[in-house]
Amino acid sequence: MVRMAVAAGVVASQVATAEAYSLASASAQEVHVEAAAETAAEAVADSAVLSCLAKCAEPPAAHALAEPVRRRSEPIVTPRTHAKPSDGGLASPIFSPATSPTLVGSPGKLGDEEDTALFELNGLEELDPAVVSAPGKKGASLPMTDRAAQLVTEVNAAVATGGSARLIEDDSDSRSSSSYYIQDQDGARLAVFKPCDEEASSAGVSAAVTRGCAVGEGANREYLAYMLDMQSPAEFRAGVPETALVRLQHPALFDGQEKIGSLQRFRANRGGAEDWGAPSFSRKNVQNIALFDLLTLNLDRHGGNMLVSAESGELIPIDHGCALPSELGEPWLDWRLWEQAAQPVDEATQSFVRNLDPLAAAPLTEELGLGDGVWRTVCVMTLLLQLSIGQGKTLRQLADLMMQHEGESSPGLIERLRGDLREAGAAAKAVEGEEWPWSSADAAQSTWAEHCRHAVAAAQA
C-alpha cells in the first residue's frame, strides 16, 4: 500500500500542470493541512495516506520540474484513461520511456556525475490500467540519466499545457528523415523528436550506411550513442545532448497517433561547424568528438551535425542515426582534416583509451534488439583505437586508416579485417553451444573479443 501511495503521488505530480496547480481549490488545501496535522499526531493508516495523496494539492509545477528524477519508483508517465482536460481544454499526453529489457547493473558504468534513473511501471496497473506499455524485449523500462529524465518531464509538462510539434524543414537533403521540434505554448524549443516510422529509405546513401544502419533503427542508435558517451568520465565525453527513447501520444500531436522515437534536448546554437572553421574550436573539444566517432564508427560526421553552442562556443555533436553500424564500413569524418586531429593526444587521454572496455556496448545493444553486429563494431573500434594510440598514432592517422582513398589498389583496413572477423564469429558461435559455469552468451562475447584482438593486430601490422 505504501508503494501504491508513492506511485499515486508520482503520477499525480507528473500529470498536474502549472494551470492545474493554480486552480487547486481551497478545500483541497484544507484537506492537506488537516492530513499533515493528523500525521504529526499519530500514525496514519495506509488507506488514509493514499487518500491524502490523491486529494491534496501538490507543490508549484516549477519546483516539481526542478527536482532531478532519481528514484526507481518514479515513472515519467501520464495516465491515458484517467487524464482529464484542464479548464482550458488541454488533454494530458501519454508520454513514457520506451521500454526495453532490464539493464540493472550495466548503467553503473556511467560517470560519477550522472546516476541512471530506471523507470519501473510494475504496480501502476491498479492505479491506471491504460498506462502505455513499452515495446521492449522483456518489458522493463530503458535506463535514463537524470538529465534525460528531466528532459522527458519538461516535455511532458509542455505538451500537456499547449505545446506542439513542428516539422524541421531541411531542403538540403531530399532523403532526410522527418524530425520535429517539440516546443512549449510560447514556441520555445525544448527538444528534437525523431519518430522511428518516419525515417527515410536508404536510397541515395553510402553503401556502408545501407549495409550497417537499417531504416527504422535510427532512434535506437541516437539513444545508444548518448548512453555510451555518458559511460565516459565527464572530461572525455563528446557532449552528445541528453537523449531518451520514448513513446509519445497526444491528441494535438501527429493526429493523436502513438509515436516511438528518440527525444533529444534542443541546444541553442550558432549553426554548424562548417560555417566557422576548425581554428574556432579547442583541441580537447575536437579530440573528444573524434574519439567518440571512432569508437562508434560514425559513418556520417560532417560540419552540419557538429553545432556550435550559443553559450560556450564549443561543438555539440548530434545526428547519430548513422553511427554504431551493424557491419564495418568506411566512415566519413570531416574533422580528420582539422589540425586538432593531427595533434598527439595527451597522457590523460591515452590512459582513458587504454582502460576502455571493448564489450561496454554489448548489454544495452542486446536490450535494444539491435543485434550482435553493433556491439561487435564497438569492440573492433575500441581495440583498434587502443592499439593505434599505443603505437603513437594520431586520431587523423587512424581516421585515414579507416578510409579507402580513391585510386588505392590495395585493400583498406576495413577490407583486411572482414575475413578475420568472420572467423571470430564462427568461433563465438561454437562456444555459445557449449556448457559453461557462466553465461554462454558472455563466453561467446569474450571469445569473439579475443579473436578480434588478434585480427586487429594482424591488420595493423
Range with the poorest average pLDDT among 40-54, 299-313, 398-412? 40-54
Contact residues for 21 (Cβ-Cβ < 8 A; gap 6+):
57, 58, 59, 60, 61
Q: pLDDT-derived band of residue 77, with 50, 70 and 90 as boundaries? A: very low
User: What is d(CA 44, CA 48) in angstroms, rounded to the nearest whole number?
Assistant: 6
Least confident of 122-126, 170-174, 238-242, 390-394: 122-126
pTM greater than 0.85 (yes/no)? no
Confidence of residue 100 (pLDDT cuts 50, 70, 90): very low
Q: Is pLDDT at 379 greater than 90 in this prediction?
A: yes
The whole-number average pLDDT for the span 412-429 is 80
Higher-confidence residue: 41 or 191?
191
The residues that bridge with 263 in the sheet, in sequence order, are 193, 244
Give me the pLDDT at residue 72, please.
30
- pLDDT tens column, 232-266: 999 999 999 999 988 888 888 888 888 889 999 99
Going by pLDDT thresholds of 50, 70 and 90, the confidence category of residue 127 is very low
Of 261 and 26, the structure prediction assigns the larger pLDDT to: 261
In the predicted structure, residue 373 carries a pLDDT above the cut 70: yes
> Is 50 exceeded by the pLDDT of residue 356?
yes
Give the pLDDT band of residue 267 (cuts 50, 70, 90). Answer: very high
pLDDT band of residue 305 (cuts 50, 70, 90) is very high
Query: How confident is the model over 301-319, as a mean pLDDT?
Result: 96
Residue 10 in this model has a pLDDT that exceeds 70:
no
Q: What is the mean pLDDT of the chain?
A: 74
**Among 345, 108, 118, 116, CA closest to 235:** 345
pLDDT confidence of residue 202: 62
Beta carbons of 179 and 193 less than 8 angstroms apart: yes
The average pLDDT across 147-159 equals 87
Pairing of strands 189-195, 259-265: antiparallel
Examine the pLDDT at 318 and tell me if it is beyond 70. Answer: yes
State mean pLDDT over 45-71.
Answer: 36
User: Which residue in the block uniquely carries the three cell numbers 508549484?
Assistant: 60
Q: How far apart are CA 410 and CA 215, in angstroms?
A: 32
Q: What is the pLDDT of residue 436?
A: 59
96-110, 367-381, 401-415: least confidently modelled range: 96-110
Q: What is the pLDDT of residue 451?
A: 87
- Closest CA relative to residue 262, chosen from 297, 292, 218: 218
pLDDT above 80: residue 29: no
